[in-house]
A and B are shown apart, each in its own frame.
Chain A
Amino acid sequence: MEYKFEKDYGCLMLKMPRELDHHAAEYIKEEADSLILQYPVRSLVFDFSDTQFMDSSGIGVIIGRCKNVRFSGGYVKAVNLNEQIQRVFQLSGLMKIIDVE
């Protein structure tokens, strides 16, 4: 998974895959959790700019990582959502849980 860590801000940016389904979710969870352990993450940004599709498996990815980052007082947001993904966020209530840009 592509990612970027900005040391000065403690900001970890994770690039989500083209299709965030159950198949992709399994490896994303694993990689994201190992990055969260590896870096002193103060804010976690999910970047959806390459993502065309997301289903309920993506919700689990986001909520699970939120818990892990917030546990240590971190902040989470999601950026660059297309319309399909915005609808999934809205219907699932994710919009109320994390900031969306």
Chain B
Amino acid sequence: MEHLKNEMKMEFLAISTNEGFARVAVGAFVAELNPTVDELADIKTAVSEAVTNCIIHGYEQKEGSVWIQCSIQGRQVEISVTDTGKGIRDIEKAREPLFTTKPELERSGMGFAFMEAFMDEVEVVSEPWKGTCVTMRKTIGEA
């Protein structure tokens, strides 16, 4: 297969209607790599988790924007999801399965665990009151 290179960026309001839009848009963008049904489901779930976190935690359901940058390099997809919300104080703790700061909203603390399970790599950069950027990578068609 030829060596693919492609990139896209999008920005949208941090409101819950856009969660579906974001995962479908990223899914459509990576379609040129012919991912399997499972690979596509993995990517959509990971994107949904990252975007939902921006809305619920980053902006605490108040006004804000979410940025997604997505690139394809050969068979690897890289997706960054960024907000300029409240940020994460202790990233290591936040990534632990079942850890949540919003149990009153019935959050289960599984978002990062899913991103890690469904993608090959997950990087989190965050600073309190500056924002959070989650970068995830996955190679399509490995198996």
Binding site for B on A (CB under 8 A): 19, 21-23, 26, 29, 53, 55-57, 59-61, 63-64, 83-84, 88, 91-92
CA distance A53 to B24 in the complex (A): 11
**Interface contact A59-B110, CB-CB below 8 Å:** yes
By secondary structure, the B interface counts as helix
| Chain A: minimal CB distance from B16 (Å) | 4
Chain A proximity of B71: nearest CB distance (Å) = 23
Cα A55 to Cα B117 in complex, Å, equals: 13
In chain B between 7 and 32, which residues have their CB closer than 8 angstroms to a CB of chain A?
Answer: 16-17, 19-20, 23
Grouping DSSP codes into helix (H, G, I), strand (E, B) and loop, the A interface class, with mixed when no group exceeds half, is helix
A88 engages B52 (CB within 8 Å): no
Give B residues with C-beta under 8 Å from A. Answer: 16-17, 19-20, 23, 37-38, 41, 44-45, 48-49, 52, 55-56, 105-108, 110-111, 113-114, 117
Distance A53 CA – B44 CA, assembled complex (angstroms) = 9
A-chain residues with CB within 8 Å of residue B17 when the two chains form the complex: 23
